[in-house]
């Protein structure tokens, strides 16, 4: 009696990891959690006050399914101010998080047998959201040597007559890769030769870029692709707004209409209170965003130092987001204190949780075996303690030569 499509879908690995951490803690175990993909600080006080004021002003009812006029106007102002992109309100739709918009975009546009190109490593939900539409995710590996970025040659080779979307996530979860203007231009040049392929650009981490990296929206590189591009973003990361659940899409009116149609028959609308608070966030002082970016950059720098201090681990320095995507192949062949040989990234994840009490997520779940994702969206004290425990767990493992 259940949908056959569910057989092709697995539980979100990040949600599964969180559930495991919660279960271990409920059993009395101390766990340092590096799995969570959300800022560890609270929503800024002026934004919270905006939500409180919204409640007092009676913003407790249904809104338009596409979002309130006030929020869509604020999003349009944000896109013009920060990304130099102009969108009318009817080209914008608000959802319960960016994931909600992506899911409904696929539901509105994909048919059975269609294909979606997903560069790997990828955010864990992309392939399953495609599979839920009876479409096929086409995974294109992006090597560590390339900085985990999609090459135009690889994109061209992956496109078929059934290709309907390319997903580009920059800054990237889990690798922290940030595409440059030239890199995006090369990819967009490939797309120009294939008018049946649309571009979904997930820019949720746009404000968290470090050093000399700069976020570039693909639409600013290739405005001629606007008629087949959906820009997806939200407030969860930049404004520590995860629980408020507000994301949005900006794109062609006909696609926005169809996404909105699905919203009318599913969630009806995003929370009215959250939408009012989102207006305050987008239109108000932005110091909280800059402070968050500065904090994450300092943590990134320390995490890179800590990784370098543990033999067997290495990491391409992330230019954005708040994750380290760590190469753990240097631990393969070692034997854990429990007598198990390490042969995969999953084995390393198990070593860290069992021997160090540190939770991370395996790279296999992100389409990239041999790596693991570690979130540094947590306190420096937790990072120091976690890496100290990891170093001890690694040091307790024996090499093959020692076993001989």
- Give 280-313 pLDDT, tens digit per residue: 999 999 999 999 999 999 999 999 999 999 999 9
Q: Is the pLDDT confidence value at 135 over 50?
A: yes
Q: What is the DSSP letter of 170?
A: S
277 and 162 fall within a common domain: yes
Mean pLDDT score, 174-180: 98
**pLDDT at residue number 400:** 63
pTM of the predicted structure, to 2 decimals: 0.95
Residue 259: is its pLDDT beyond 50? yes
What is the average per-residue pLDDT within 240-264? 98
Query: 334 lies in which domain range?
Result: 4-42+288-397
Q: Is the pLDDT of residue 403 over 70?
A: no
If asked whether residues 138 and 27 sit together in one domain, one would say no
278 and 298 in a single domain? The answer is: no
Q: What is the pLDDT of residues 94-125, one digit of tens each?
A: 999 999 999 999 999 999 999 999 999 999 99
277 membership: H or E segment, kind and range: helix 272-283
| Whether residues 249 and 206 fall in one domain | yes
Distances (CA, A) of 55 to 236, 247, 341: 20, 20, 56
Judge if 102 and 199 occupy the same domain.
Answer: yes
- 393 and 300 co-located in one domain: yes
* pLDDT for 404: 41
Nearest to 117 by CA among 141, 96, 97: 141
Single residue among 266, 285, 304 that ends a domain in this structure: 285
CATH number at residue 188: 3.40.640.10
The pLDDT value given to residue 401:
54
Using the predicted structure, report yes or no on whether residue 63 has a pLDDT greater than 90.
yes
Residue 404 lies in a domain: no
Rounded Cα gap, residues 228 and 261, in angstroms: 19
Reported confidence tier of residue 56, pLDDT bands at 50, 70, 90: very high
- Per the rule left: phi > 0, alpha: psi between -120 and 50, beta: everything else, 147 is left
Structure-block tokens of residue 73: 């106007």
On whether both 94 and 241 belong to a single domain, the answer is: yes
Q: What percent of the chain has pLDDT over 70?
A: 99
How many structural domains compose the chain? 2
How far apart are the C-alpha atoms of 133 and 107, rounded to whole Å?
Answer: 6
Residue 2 has pLDDT above 70, yes or no: yes
Examine the domain organization and report whether 316 and 229 are in the same domain.
no
């Amino acid at each position: 009696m259940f949908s056959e499509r569910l057989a092709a879908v697995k539980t979100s690995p990040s949600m599964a990891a969180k559930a495991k951490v919660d279960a271990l803690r409920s059993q009395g175990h101390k766990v340092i959690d590096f799995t969570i993909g959300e800022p560890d600080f609270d929503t800024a006080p002026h934004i919270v006050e905006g939500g409180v004021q919204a409640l007092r002003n009676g913003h407790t009812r249904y809104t338009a399914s596409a979002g309130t006029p006030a929020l869509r106007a604020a999003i349009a102002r944000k896109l013009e101010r920060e990304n130099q992109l102009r969108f009318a309100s009817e080209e914008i739709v608000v959802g319960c998080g960016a994931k909600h918009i992506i899911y409904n975009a696929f539901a509105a546009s994909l048919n059975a047998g269609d294909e979606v190109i997903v560069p790997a490593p990828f955010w864990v939900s992309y392939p399953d959201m495609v599979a839920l539409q009876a479409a096929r995710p086409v995974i294109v590996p992006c090597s560590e040597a390339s900085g985990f970025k999609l090459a135009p040659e690889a994109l061209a080779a992956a496109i078929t007559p059934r290709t309907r979307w390319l997903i580009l996530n920059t800054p990237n979860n889990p690798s922290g890769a940030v595409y440059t203007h030239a890199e995006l231009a090369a990819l967009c040049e490939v797309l120009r030769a294939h008018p049946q392929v649309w571009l979904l650009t997930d820019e949720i981490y746009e404000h968290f870029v470090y050093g000399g990296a700069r976020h570039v929206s693909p639409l600013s590189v290739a405005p001629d692709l606007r008629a087949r591009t959906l820009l997806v973003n939200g407030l969860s990361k930049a404004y520590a707004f995860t629980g408020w659940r507000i994301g949005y899409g900006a794109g062609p009116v006909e696609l926005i209409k169809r996404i909105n149609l699905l919203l009318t028959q599913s969630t009806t609308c995003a929370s009215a209170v959250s939408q009012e608070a989102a207006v305050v966030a987008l239109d108000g002082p932005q110091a909280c965003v800059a402070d968050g970016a500065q904090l994450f950059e300092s943590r990134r720098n320390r995490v890179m130092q800590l990784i370098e201090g543990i033999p067997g681990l290495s990491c391409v320095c992330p230019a954005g987001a708040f994750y380290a995507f760590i190469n753990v192949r240097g631990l393969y062949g070692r034997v854990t204190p429990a007598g198990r040989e390490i042969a995969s990234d999953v084995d390393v994840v198990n070593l860290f949780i069992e021997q160090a009490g540190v939770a991370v997520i395996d790279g296999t779940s992100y389409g990239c075996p041999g790596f693991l994702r570690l979130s540094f969206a947590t306190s420096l004290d937790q990072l120091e303690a976690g890496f100290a425990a990891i170093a001890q767990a690694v040091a307790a493992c024996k090499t093959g030569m020692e076993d001989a």
